[in-house]
Chain A
């Protein structure tokens, strides 16, 4: 559990907010509580880390609305939606829209804590991946246009000879570029290079070639 992670509790019921704080506190989790979706959205930033526990039904913005606005702003904090109604269609909709978990009131305290822990782990992983990807992107941006051409064809599984003929350069020049790419990307093998490009792509953005 990273120390800067927080559990953001959004619920219009004061007793629920307060009791959540007690519960999270008992397992050493930090809670930031908000009495409305609007207040929460004002406070949250893309740099925030942790997870969100959202009440589905609140005056003003409901849980799903808050979730949608988070995603619009590119904030990918895992969201747990808590519902007192537990109707299946809403749960399905929530999960389809990318909500991490859906908890029905009344819940067992352990059940909620498990969900929260899982979400925090996911957030930590996401942060790690984000960092890793950012590092890879830095390396990637250091490649010259010719090196990018070679990278693309290497990843596509072409041999040096074929790469040379399709780029109109000698096989020897290809080998030089290829060595530079491996070096700049800090890849020990072609298969690692392929994995790196997949990580960069995995964020849903096309390879910036």
Chain B
């Protein structure tokens, strides 16, 4: 490798190679093994690159000639997108660099095309003594390159098969790097015999570079259907391969373009091949490598120089990395020093931090006397530092509960912190300001210990959570409002049902009364029939009264106060409430209630609304069934975890998975009327009660809505 070429490669490896091609075109580089010299490579393969550029608009293909040693780094560092190398190198790259073949070359000899090739052992025509491989012992050997498949490795395999070790049993090996140079060495007598791939000798003769009858092939094998002289077994021709980083889509287009190249295309003619064929099986090459224990299958007898030479790129890169690492560690050491300085600064001036934190911080000794405070604490409480230090924190800031009840010092979590020597976290208390007002506070109180672990007092970090409490309150109010809106809308929908229901007895009453009056006016009144009509009338009046009572129950303004709720009673009342609607729709509602249930702590009208929503949905769902098959079941159960479970099951058509997953989304509705808020609000209400609301689709059709609510006992225990 010349210095200039090495330099170019180095620049390429470091990512600075100038891109060939026009500005708007994507440059695609084909790395071609330059086994006969760069000029020949560019002459032979340039037209193929041009052909690909013309077939694939937007891409500009160029040929990058690569010497044997340059191939692998070029692939590894992604300086080429495709490679055209000998089959041996290909197999090596396939195993170690993940390249994959997309086409195999069709070579040409005269009018005949073939896609296999082999190796040739040859000598000067006058060396008649060299006729067999065995006769090569102790002769001087010139080959192309250690990595040349057709120019060394194939011949090596044949020698080894005949017990001839090229390194032990010959007078010497020299690598000339190009086939042409091998031929020159043999002709010049620098070596007794040489190795080149098939068709090299024929082409040199054709080109006038070699006199006919100046060389002779050693151990020429008769090979059926193969037009050239060959000393070794045959192997598949060079593959055109994509590198691991090249997109498959691009590779596919290139493969198609290559296959479509006519065998007599100028690009084929200049490369003296006959176009491309589907990629062949390179197993024969694998076998060669395995047999020789080289390539991806072992460590051949490379000299250190070989290794250096082969991995020069990697060595350079490695060296640079090492340099970078040294720089980095220097920088890290520098950072460390700076950190140390900062740490010392922090340690010496921790009050700066106390000043900077957004939370109030104070320290108390084991008597509860304030020993230090930060400015935020001053800002929060309204007391000055001097007024705080030395005073009892509890008496000053923590003396009463939010409702004004005195807060005994013995109950204070701060005192408990150093008595129990453990941290306390509180978020439902208030601190008092100097001006007598209070603010909701969240604070953590941790014991302060000396080196021996002896408790000196406590540190309190506190935060004004007025904003958070307000947000919670706002959310709570919003939910109530939503529930109210939804309730009004539910009422609106039910009003028309109820009105109709109320109209029935009223109409009947009017009719009966009218009938009685007319008979009386016409003097056609007999006592018995009048009495009968009056009784019927009275019955209808009672019926009307009953309905009115139900409406009143539903709309009665009740304080949304939390309190113990008997779930069974609630379910019963709710079922009664919707019975009007259910009756009209021909729906049977079955109650299957647990015998005894603990009460739930909550807001009656909210939970009632949840059950009303579920029942009304269910009534609608079973409306799809025949009139005699509309059934809704409400079950209540109670389990050992103190969870009360309510189930509203219908035998309607159920829900598809989309509807099931969307059911609880606000404004999602499959109905033509209604806002789609029912289930969303219901879920929020249940969750606000510490419970869960979910839906399941029954296997045999129908849907079940489940509500889990913690019992009052469970809730009390969880709070404590």
Asked if A66 is an interface residue, CB under 8 A from chain B, the answer is no
Mask of B504-528 contacts with A, CB within 8 angstroms, 1/0? 1111111111111011001010000
- The docked-state distance in angstroms from the alpha carbon of A106 to that of B518 is 19
Q: How far is the CB of A173 from chain B (nearest CB, A)?
A: 66
The residues in A between 75 and 125 inclusive whose CB is less than 8 angstroms from any CB of B are 82, 84-85, 105-110, 112-113
Mask of B55-99 contacts with A, CB within 8 angstroms, 1/0? 000000000000000000000000000000000000000000000
Asked if B135 is an interface residue, CB under 8 A from chain A, the answer is no
A15's nearest neighbour on chain B, judged by CB, is B508
- The docked-state distance in angstroms from the alpha carbon of A106 to that of B586 is 24
A59's nearest neighbour on chain B, judged by CB, is B586
Partner-binding segment picked from A20-28, A137-145, A191-199, A200-208: A20-28
A15:B504 contact, CB within 8 angstroms: yes
B586:A108 contact, CB within 8 angstroms: no
Contacts of A110 in B (CB 8 A): 514
- The docked-state distance in angstroms from the alpha carbon of A23 to that of B515 is 4
Q: How far is the CB of B510 from chain A (nearest CB, A)?
A: 5
**With A84-B499, A108-B510 as contacts: A19 and B515 at CB distance below 8 Å:** yes
Asked if B496 is an interface residue, CB under 8 A from chain A, the answer is yes
Contacts of B346 in A (CB 8 A): none
A22:B507 contact, CB within 8 angstroms: no
- The docked-state distance in angstroms from the alpha carbon of A113 to that of B537 is 19
**With A106-B506, A106-B507 as contacts: A19 and B512 at CB distance below 8 Å:** yes
B511:A19 contact, CB within 8 angstroms: yes
**With A22-B533, A84-B500, A85-B496 as contacts: A27 and B518 at CB distance below 8 Å:** yes
Contacts of A18 in B (CB 8 A): 508, 536
B500:A85 contact, CB within 8 angstroms: yes
B505:A15 contact, CB within 8 angstroms: yes
Asked if B178 is an interface residue, CB under 8 A from chain A, the answer is no
Asked if B248 is an interface residue, CB under 8 A from chain A, the answer is no
Asked if A13 is an interface residue, CB under 8 A from chain B, the answer is yes
**With A85-B500, A105-B506, A109-B510 as contacts: A59 and B515 at CB distance below 8 Å:** no
**With A25-B515, A84-B499 as contacts: A16 and B627 at CB distance below 8 Å:** no
- The docked-state distance in angstroms from the alpha carbon of A110 to that of B511 is 9
A105's nearest neighbour on chain B, judged by CB, is B503
Q: Which residue of A22, A60, A105, A106 is within 8 Å of B627 (Cβ)?
A: A60
B511:A109 contact, CB within 8 angstroms: yes
B496:A106 contact, CB within 8 angstroms: no
A19:B584 contact, CB within 8 angstroms: no
- The docked-state distance in angstroms from the alpha carbon of A113 to that of B505 is 18
Q: How many residues of B contact A (CB 8 A)?
A: 32
B512:A22 contact, CB within 8 angstroms: yes
Contacts of B515 in A (CB 8 A): 19, 22-23, 25-26, 109
Contacts of A60 in B (CB 8 A): 627
Q: How far is the CB of A90 from chain B (nearest CB, A)?
A: 11
The residues in A between 12 and 54 inclusive whose CB is less than 8 angstroms from any CB of B are 13, 15-16, 18-20, 22-23, 25-27
- The docked-state distance in angstroms from the alpha carbon of A105 to that of B496 is 12
Mask of B584-596 contacts with A, CB within 8 angstroms, 1/0? 1110000000000
Q: How far is the CB of A1 from chain B (nearest CB, A)?
A: 15
A109:B508 contact, CB within 8 angstroms: no
Mask of B523-553 contacts with A, CB within 8 angstroms, 1/0? 0100000000100110110010000000000
The residues in B between 584 and 626 inclusive whose CB is less than 8 angstroms from any CB of A are 584-586
**With A25-B515, A26-B515, A109-B510 as contacts: A59 and B627 at CB distance below 8 Å:** yes
Q: Which residue of B496, B504, B536, B539 is within 8 Å of A13 (Cβ)?
A: B504
B511's nearest neighbour on chain A, judged by CB, is A19
Asked if A57 is an interface residue, CB under 8 A from chain B, the answer is yes
- The docked-state distance in angstroms from the alpha carbon of A13 to that of B503 is 11
B510:A84 contact, CB within 8 angstroms: no
A109:B536 contact, CB within 8 angstroms: no
Contacts of B518 in A (CB 8 A): 23, 26-27
- The docked-state distance in angstroms from the alpha carbon of A22 to that of B519 is 10
Q: How far is the CB of B623 from chain A (nearest CB, A)?
A: 10
B536:A105 contact, CB within 8 angstroms: no
Q: How far is the CB of A26 from chain B (nearest CB, A)?
A: 4
- The docked-state distance in angstroms from the alpha carbon of A22 to that of B543 is 19
Contacts of B540 in A (CB 8 A): 15, 19
Contacts of A22 in B (CB 8 A): 511-512, 515, 533, 536
Q: How far is the CB of A132 from chain B (nearest CB, A)?
A: 35
Contacts of B522 in A (CB 8 A): 26
Q: How far is the CB of B412 from chain A (nearest CB, A)?
A: 65
A84:B514 contact, CB within 8 angstroms: no
Contacts of A109 in B (CB 8 A): 510-511, 513-515
- The docked-state distance in angstroms from the alpha carbon of A20 to that of B504 is 12
Q: How far is the CB of A106 from chain B (nearest CB, A)?
A: 4
- The docked-state distance in angstroms from the alpha carbon of A109 to that of B510 is 6
- The docked-state distance in angstroms from the alpha carbon of A107 to that of B501 is 14
- The docked-state distance in angstroms from the alpha carbon of A85 to that of B533 is 26
A23:B496 contact, CB within 8 angstroms: no
Q: How far is the CB of B630 from chain A (nearest CB, A)?
A: 11
- The docked-state distance in angstroms from the alpha carbon of A113 to that of B533 is 18
- The docked-state distance in angstroms from the alpha carbon of A27 to that of B515 is 8
A16:B500 contact, CB within 8 angstroms: no
- The docked-state distance in angstroms from the alpha carbon of A78 to that of B585 is 29
**With A26-B518, A109-B513 as contacts: A84 and B503 at CB distance below 8 Å:** yes
Q: How far is the CB of B274 from chain A (nearest CB, A)?
A: 84
B506's nearest neighbour on chain A, judged by CB, is A106
Contacts of B501 in A (CB 8 A): 84
Q: Which residue of B499, B503, B508 is within 8 Å of A19 (Cβ)?
A: B508
Mask of A120-157 contacts with B, CB within 8 angstroms, 1/0? 00000000000000000000000000000000000000
Q: How far is the CB of B114 from chain A (nearest CB, A)?
A: 87
B583's nearest neighbour on chain A, judged by CB, is A59
Residue from B510, B512, B514, B539 with most neighbouring chain A CB atoms (10 Å): B514
- The docked-state distance in angstroms from the alpha carbon of A15 to that of B505 is 7
A103's nearest neighbour on chain B, judged by CB, is B507
Q: How far is the CB of A24 from chain B (nearest CB, A)?
A: 8
**With A22-B515, A26-B518 as contacts: A57 and B500 at CB distance below 8 Å:** yes
- The docked-state distance in angstroms from the alpha carbon of A108 to that of B517 is 13
Contacts of A113 in B (CB 8 A): 514
- The docked-state distance in angstroms from the alpha carbon of A15 to that of B536 is 8
Q: 8 additional contacts, CB 8 Å, given A13-B504, A19-B537?
A: A15-B543, A19-B508, A22-B511, A26-B514, A84-B499, A85-B500, A105-B507, A107-B507
18 contacts between A and B (CB under 8 A): A15-B536, A15-B540, A15-B543, A16-B507, A19-B536, A19-B537, A26-B514, A26-B516, A59-B584, A59-B586, A84-B499, A84-B501, A84-B503, A84-B507, A85-B499, A105-B506, A105-B507, A107-B507
Interface residues of A (CB under 8 A from B): 13, 15-16, 18-20, 22-23, 25-27, 57, 59-60, 82, 84-85, 105-110, 112-113
Closest 3 CB pairs of A and B: A109-B514, A19-B511, A84-B503
